[in-house]
Structure 1
Amino acid sequence: MRIGLLGTGPWARMVHAPALHEHDRLDFAGVWGRRPEAARELADRFGTRAYADVDALLDDVDAVAVALPPSVQAELAVRAAGAGRHLLLDKPIALSVPEGRAVVTAAEKAQVASVVFFTTRFQREPAVWIAEQAAKPGWFTARAHWLGAVFTSDSPFADSPWRREKGPLWDIGPHALSVLVPVLGDVRRVAAAVRGPRDAVHLVLEHTGGASSTLTLSLSAPPAAAGAALELRGEAGATLLPAGSDDGVAAFRRAADALLDSARTGTPHPCDAAFALRVTETLAEAEALLA
């Protein structure tokens, strides 16, 4: 499969490009970016072609991986799907429900495969744990915290305008939801959403499986307090989400494997654009409560 990369920022340089370059079942065919000089630099680094025109890249590939701000991603994903290209997207799929729905509609109309890179879902140990817990009945409640230090450290993502605007709800909220939903069921209702210190957000969710969950999210936690954890409690007892041993590149290679398999078989992946749309709908509901 010939695949092109849309985007040249830190995530593209750190994760997408190395993973595509190393993948033995992908031909990393080219890079397009909103800054042509950055596209040329990244293409030279990984021995591929820089494209000045995004439609020219779409004409030359079978699929695209997207590492762009969510609203830009949504617009280009619709264009790529319309050209018949499979989609390897990042979370969140979009920053509004209409944008996300447009991606899903375009992918379904074109009958192209889509996989959205919720990092934890593609790390080996967490993926096994999620499948095991989803098979157990009787979960009562869960509590999760995803605490980042993006804005309190030297993170390469600290200058991201969309993260500054939308905060932890939209940046790391998708990670927590991607773990909770397959185990507890879809979010039936955001029962409460309140703000905490700095940019912290606290959510209470009701799930279709009957359980409730609480989430604490931040991008401005003290660096010493940063980290992620999730605990489930129910008839099976208590269990903690294990840490993943895979780095971002290895996890993204596994997401690329999932796209290849979905494109070959025609079977939707659990982390497809439709699942990402449901995450977007939940985030929008929480954002409305916060407002």
Structure 2
Amino acid sequence: MRPVAVGLVGSGAWAAGFHAPMLAAGPETRLAGVWARRPEAARALAAKFSVPAFVDYREFLRACEAVAFAVAPGAQPSLAGEAARAGRAVLLEKPLALTLADAEALAETIDATGVPSQLLLTRRFRPQVRDFLRRAEDFPVAGAQARHLTDELLAGAHPAAWRRRNGVLTDFAPHALDLLDATVGWIKDVSAAGDLHGYMALTCLHEGGAVSQLALSGSIPTPQGHYKTLDLYGPKGRLTLDVRELAEDSAQTRSNVRSEFAAAVRSGSSHPIGVHRGLYLQRLMDQVSTQLIGA
């Protein structure tokens, strides 16, 4: 298969540490260039991979077949929407947007243009997580408990500005809600208590009657930096995924993202984890934020 020419939007730590080396490694893709809000940052990142940096976004789009986004959620809808209207497949960041309205508008644009989409929920591409999901298929679930407790939003942790500003729900919840849905079943309803910028507890009602609980915080000091676990309970006992026991995002994780995105582009069909998966998660997040803001 001819490598897919993928342009990268963004020049921050995630773009430099994950997206750019992944796309440049091939063989399914090649990094076609970099565009970022700050031209000097785009030039610096592009130079590391010997690819062009672009100042004009439309010129950038003309130079690639597909676009990967490593930007804040507030910036993604307009940039990804323009890429879709230009006929470019899109590798999207989670969450899709800061607001449900913007996420819906982006999904509508992608549907209208028919371009393939894939959502970069990195855990779904990790081999160990995929193995856990396969084992969960044969594990009847009555209920589940998950926790995503980290120190990543504490002062001095140096997260991206949008992460500090928007808090734990926007940053961490998509991963946890996605895995709860994938293992326990479609989430019909979610109720929430707590603080958007502190500690919150969610209770999810799943299709079929199972109930799950999720604890979320980005401001819990821990010796290892995080507690990220998912426990499934049922007639067979307990099935556990402990992210602390997993290796960091591996070469295989990157290969899965890259090869599956390239396959989506060449087939003309979205990945199963595409824009509508992102929209589903955004709607759950919107339910939570509406409850907590109104509390």
What TM-score, normalized to structure 2? Answer: 0.91
**Cα separation, 2, equivalents of 1:222 and 1:56:** 45
* One-letter amino acid matched to 2:71: L
* One-letter amino acid matched to 2:43: R
Tell me by how many angstroms 1:95 deviates. Answer: 1.4
1:141 to 127, 140, 143: 143
User: CA distance change for structure 1 residues 270 and 23 in 2, over 3 Å: closer, same or farther?
Assistant: same
Tell me by how many angstroms 1:137 deviates. Answer: 5.9
Q: Which residue of structure 2 aligns with residue 46 of structure 1?
A: 49
* One-letter amino acid matched to 2:62: D
Tell me by how many angstroms 1:248 deviates. Answer: 6.0
* One-letter amino acid matched to 2:143: T
Q: Which residue of structure 1 aligns with residue 260 of structure 2?
A: 258
2:30 to 10, 27, 31: 27
Tell me by how many angstroms 1:209 deviates. Answer: 3.3
User: CA distance change for structure 1 residues 109 and 42 in 2, over 3 Å: closer, same or farther?
Assistant: same
User: CA distance change for structure 1 residues 246 and 113 in 2, over 3 Å: closer, same or farther?
Assistant: farther
- The answer as to 2:215 corresponding to 1:212 is no
Q: Which residue of structure 2 aligns with residue 175 of structure 1?
A: 175
Q: Which residue of structure 1 aligns with residue 195 of structure 2?
A: 195
* One-letter amino acid matched to 1:209: G
Q: Which residue of structure 1 aligns with residue 113 of structure 2?
A: 110
Tell me by how many angstroms 1:37 deviates. Answer: 0.5
**Cα separation, 1, equivalents of 2:231 and 2:203:** 15
Deviations 1:18-76 (A, max 9, x none): 11111211121100001110000000011111000111111111100100001201111
Q: Secondary structure at the match of 1:240?
A: strand
Greater Cα shift, 92-101 or 243-252: 243-252
**Cα separation, 1, equivalents of 2:231 and 2:138:** 15
* One-letter amino acid matched to 2:60: L
**Cα separation, 2, equivalents of 1:271 and 1:131:** 16
- What is the identity percentage for the equivalent residue pairs of Structure 1 and Structure 2? 32
Check the 8 A contact 1:136/1:236 in 2, yes or no: no
* One-letter amino acid matched to 1:210: G
- The answer as to 2:57 corresponding to 1:58 is no
**Cα separation, 2, equivalents of 1:163 and 1:138:** 36
* One-letter amino acid matched to 1:142: A
User: CA distance change for structure 1 residues 51 and 154 in 2, over 3 Å: closer, same or farther?
Assistant: same
User: CA distance change for structure 1 residues 156 and 11 in 2, over 3 Å: closer, same or farther?
Assistant: farther
Tell me by how many angstroms 1:191 deviates. Answer: 2.6
* One-letter amino acid matched to 1:58: L
Check the 8 A contact 2:191/2:291 in 1, yes or no: no
Following superposition, which runs of at least 4 residues in structure 1 exceed 4 angstroms of deviation? none
**Cα separation, 1, equivalents of 2:186 and 2:113:** 26
1:246-285 to structure 2, matched below 5 A, reads 246-247=248-249, 250-285=252-287
User: CA distance change for structure 1 residues 119 and 186 in 2, over 3 Å: closer, same or farther?
Assistant: same
**Cα separation, 2, equivalents of 1:288 and 1:226:** 27
Greater Cα shift, 63-72 or 20-29: 20-29
Tell me by how many angstroms 1:155 deviates. Answer: 3.7
Greater Cα shift, 17-26 or 256-265: 256-265
Deviations 1:204-261 (A, max 9, x none): 1111232111111111110426231110001232100154335266524322222122
Q: Secondary structure at the match of 1:98?
A: helix
**Cα separation, 1, equivalents of 2:84 and 2:240:** 38
Check the 8 A contact 2:127/2:252 in 1, yes or no: no
User: CA distance change for structure 1 residues 15 and 230 in 2, over 3 Å: closer, same or farther?
Assistant: same
Task: Point out where structure 2 has 5 or more consecutive residues left out of the alignment.
Answer: none
Task: Point out where structure 1 has 5 or more consecutive residues left out of the alignment.
Answer: none
* One-letter amino acid matched to 1:97: L
**Cα separation, 2, equivalents of 1:163 and 1:108:** 28
RMSD over aligned CA atoms reads 1.8
User: CA distance change for structure 1 residues 248 and 286 in 2, over 3 Å: closer, same or farther?
Assistant: farther
Tell me by how many angstroms 1:82 deviates. Answer: 0.6
Q: Which residue of structure 2 aligns with residue 222 of structure 1?
A: 221
**Cα separation, 2, equivalents of 1:78 and 1:98:** 13
**Cα separation, 2, equivalents of 1:147 and 1:252:** 25
**Cα separation, 2, equivalents of 1:112 and 1:185:** 28
Q: Secondary structure at the match of 1:245?
A: coil
* One-letter amino acid matched to 2:190: V
Check the 8 A contact 2:5/2:30 in 1, yes or no: yes
